[in-house]
Amino acid sequence: MTVRELFTAYIDDMKRSGKRSWKHTERILLSETVGAAQAIGADRPAAEIEASDVVPLLAEIHGRGAIVMANQTRAYLGAAFAFGLRSANDYTRQGTGADWGLNANPILATGQRAEEVLRITASSYLQPQGLLVWDKTKNGLPHSDWTRVEVQ
């Protein structure tokens, strides 16, 4: 199943769910001239897409000063791939039983905002504990990823 098919199914699901942003999402993801699908490979299998395929697109948008658009594009891409991960086993939504072969979402696996992740430094990683810590997030609260910490 291709990137174009995944994005189309995601947008169709948005329409069925009554999401008002479906048209804007469709333009960002599927426009024949400037859409994300064209930039990362519309006819490539969705399961083959990695973060390294998406970063150049986001960097190009950000580099021309369209920071909000870069963030929106990243958000829509992440949501489309999250939809693909859920849809294979989602019995609650009509027509979403497709298995895209996805094992992970290639758009920033931490779920954090890109700006937060980009501020992480080597000193943010506490190797003995397997802990990633950063002190500044959008809500002003510190964030720690405790998923790898072993309980003694």
Residue 149: per-residue pLDDT: 44
Q: Which of 39-48, 74-83, 87-96, 101-110 has the lowest mean pLDDT?
A: 87-96
* Residue whose tokens read 């599927």: 30
Q: What are the tokens at 3?
A: 């990137």
pTM over 0.75: no
116, with CB counted inside 10 A (0-12, 13-18, 19+), is middle
* Residue whose tokens read 């999250």: 82
* Residue whose tokens read 């298995």: 99
Residue 113: per-residue pLDDT: 62
Q: Which residues of 77-100 are buried (b: 16+ CB within 10 A; e: fewer)?
A: bbbbbebbeebeeeeeeeebeeeb
Q: Which of 26-40, 71-85, 91-105, 134-148 has the lowest mean pLDDT?
A: 134-148
pLDDT classification of 151: cutoffs 50, 70, 90: very low
